[in-house]
Amino acid sequence: MNNILKKNVYKAFGLTILSEIPLLELPQTNIVSDETDIVIEKADLSTLWSEHSKPNEDFVIKKDWVMFHMPEVAIFLVQNGCRILVSPINSAHENEIRLYILGTCMGAILLHRKILPLHGSAIAINGKVYAIVGDSGAGKSTPASAFLKRGFKLLSDDVIPVTLNNEGIPIVTPSYPQQKLWLESLNHFRMESHNYHPLSVRETKFAVPVQSQFATESLPLAGVFELVKGDKEEIEFQPIQNLKRFYKLYYHTYRNFFIEGSGLMEWHFNTCAKIINEIDFYQLRRPINSFTAYDLMELILSTIKVEGKVQ
């Protein structure tokens, strides 16, 4: 093993990661190489991509094997839930390579390990976790920031790892101490953008470290709040019940288009069937033309209190 690999050992998503590529967002650890769960290395994947890819398609998905090409960034290969190979394109920016490693690649890793990755933010409230899920751009991280301003702690932003313990209780494992916020949200929270690194050279979205407000212990998942954009001036609120919960959990599984090609449909169905009986599930429809992060936070807190989960 080379000296570079020895230096870059990290802990995230409950997994130990040995990486040839520095992952600045992740906390480092001193665990030795034979205890690692994931190895990340650089490799030339151009020939392999040519052999397996089809014209006008960016992903190749097989059992325990996901390969994808991001133009102007890199070709990535995820194997068997334990290995990530990266073939950077010469002009690629390091921030963007890390963005895909910690996003799409980790989503594939978790699925291969039969860990359910939900797409959203996870907040610890009184010893339990509440997830805010939604489409990209729905504004999930903004109410999560309001919770942090109130003194609550973050377990995950973007990819939420969920497993079932021996009693069938869904458990959320902390990912890593960072949020992703758009410039508009930074401005609303009076946070100066020059203090943070942009995630992409093409977007005004920033990496916001939250080390002091990061929960490091796994906690039970007690509720999921789906955040969607609405066309009314007030927040609309309704419970999600019965079979709709199946659809919502599938829809908000991170990179859910990996599931079928990876041969994981039965596992995903069975996992979701167990989870929906253990959690509360609601939809929050927010106005698109106003800043509602604090209102959403208060509504979530009042809902949890009504359900008897805040003391």
Give the CA radius of gyration of the chain. Answer: 19
Rounded-to-integer distance, Cα 273 and Cα 278, Å: 9
Rounded-to-integer distance, Cα 19 and Cα 31, Å: 13
pLDDT tier at 129 (50, 70, 90 boundaries)? very high
pLDDT tier at 45 (50, 70, 90 boundaries)? very high
Place of tokens 């020059």: 194
pLDDT (average), residues 115-132? 96
> Is residue 304 within a helix (H) or strand (E), and if so which, with residue range?
helix 293-306
pLDDT tier at 4 (50, 70, 90 boundaries)? very low
Predicted confidence (pLDDT) per residue in 49-92, tens digit: 999 999 989 999 999 999 999 999 999 999 999 999 999 998 78
Rounded-to-integer distance, Cα 181 and Cα 193, Å: 10
Check: CB of residue 108 under 8 Å from CB of residue 258.
yes
Check pLDDT > 70 for residue 293: yes
Q: Set out the domains of the chain in order of their start, with CATH numbers.
A: 3-112 (no CATH), 116-306 (3.40.50.300)
User: Sheet holding 178-182: strands in order across?
Assistant: 178-182, 205-209, 197-198
Task: Count CB-CB contacts under 10 A for residue 65.
Answer: 16
Q: Please report the DSSP string for 117-172 in residue order.
A: EEEEEEEEETTEEEEEE-STTS-THHHHHHHHHHT-EEEEEEEEEEEE-TTS-EEE
3-state SS class at 306: helix
Q: Half-sphere exposure of residue 282, counting CA atoms within 13 Å on the CB side?
A: 22
pTM above threshold 0.85: yes
Check pLDDT > 80 for residue 286: yes
Check pLDDT > 90 for residue 135: no
pLDDT tier at 311 (50, 70, 90 boundaries)? very low
Residue whose C-alpha is closest to residue 133's, from 147, 122, 148, 142: 122
